[in-house]
Amino acid sequence: MGDSKKSTATGVWPTVKPFVNGGTSGMLATCVIQPIDMIKVRIQLGQGSAGQVARTMLKEEGFGAFYKGLSAGLLRQATYTTARLGSFKILTNKAIEANDGKPLPLYQKALCGLTAGAIGASIGSPADLALIRMQADATLPEAQRRHYKNAFHALSRIVADEGVLALWKGAGPTVVRAMALNMGMLASYDQSVELFRDSLGFGEGATVLGASTISGFFAAACSLPFDYVKTQIQKMQPDAEGKLPYSGSFDCTIKTLKSGGPLKFYTGFPVYCVRIAPHVMLTWIFLNNIQKVQKSVGL
C-alpha cells in the first residue's frame, strides 16, 4: 500500500510541478511589479505621463492606490501564469519527444508559446477583467464607480449584475494578446538560453539574466497593441444614451487607427516595457530559483 501511494505521488508531481512552479513564480513577480502595472493602466486611460500619474495617485489616493487590484493580480497569476507556463512545459516536452530528443526549431517553440498563451488566457480572463476594472475604477466619475473590495467581490458582482458570461467580456482580445505575448516571451527565452549557454558558453546566472531580458523585450513588443485594445474594451462604459464607444475589438482597432494611426497602439510603450520586461524577467528568475531549490531537496 505504501509503495502504491509513493508511486502515485511520484507520478502526479512531475505532471503538476510545471503548473505549480509557473504560478508561484508569476505571483512573486506580480508582488514586485504591481505599482508599475497600475501606472501603465492609468496612462492607457489617458491620465498623463508616468510621472504625472504617479504624483496624482500619491497625492489624491495615497500609497495604497499603487497596490489596488493586487488580489486580482495574484488571482490572475494563479490561473493565467499557472496554465500558460505549465502547458508550455508540457507542450515543449511532447514536441521534443516527437523530435527524437533534438532541440526544437524556433517556429515550433513559437507555436507552443501561442498555444500555451491561448490556454492560459482562456482560464485567466475573469481575473484579468477584475484586475482591469479595479485599476480603472478611480478614473471613472463617482456615479459610475463600481467600488469592488477585492477580486472575489468583483467576480461575484460581475456575475450578479451582468451574468456569468460577462466574466469573459473582452476575452477575444485577451486571448490574442496572450498568444502574442507568450510567443514573444516563451520562444525567445528558450532560444536565448540555447544561444547564451550552448553557443556563447555563459554561466547559469548570466544565461538566465540575459535570456530573461530578451524575453521581456519581445513579450512587450509583441503584445502591447493587443493589450491596448483589450484595455479599451474592458474599461468602456455606456454613455448617457446607453451606447458603448466600441462594438468590439475590431471596431476599437479601426477607430484607433483612424484617430491616432498605428503608433497609437504603442501609447505608453516605455512604461509598458518597464512593467512587462521586469515581470517577465522576475518570473524566469523566480522560476529558475524555485527549480534549483526543488532539485536540492530532491523534488
Which residue, among 190, 6, 165, has the nearest Cα to 89 in the 3D structure?
190
CA atoms within 13 A on the CB side of 214: 16
Report the Cα–Cα distance between both ends of the chain, in Å, rounded: 22
Residue ranges, the chain, pLDDT below 50:
1-2, 4-9
Q: How far is CA 55 from CA 43, 60, 67, in A?
A: 13, 8, 15
Give me the pLDDT at residue 10, please.
Answer: 55
CA atoms within 13 A on the CB side of 69: 28
- The string of pLDDT tens digits covering residues 73-121 is 788 889 888 999 999 989 999 999 988 888 888 889 899 999 998 999 8
CA angle 117, 171, 32 (to 5 degrees): 60
Q: If you ran DSSP here, which 8-state letter would residue 150 be given? A: S
User: Distance from CA of residue 57 to its chain's centroid?
Assistant: 23
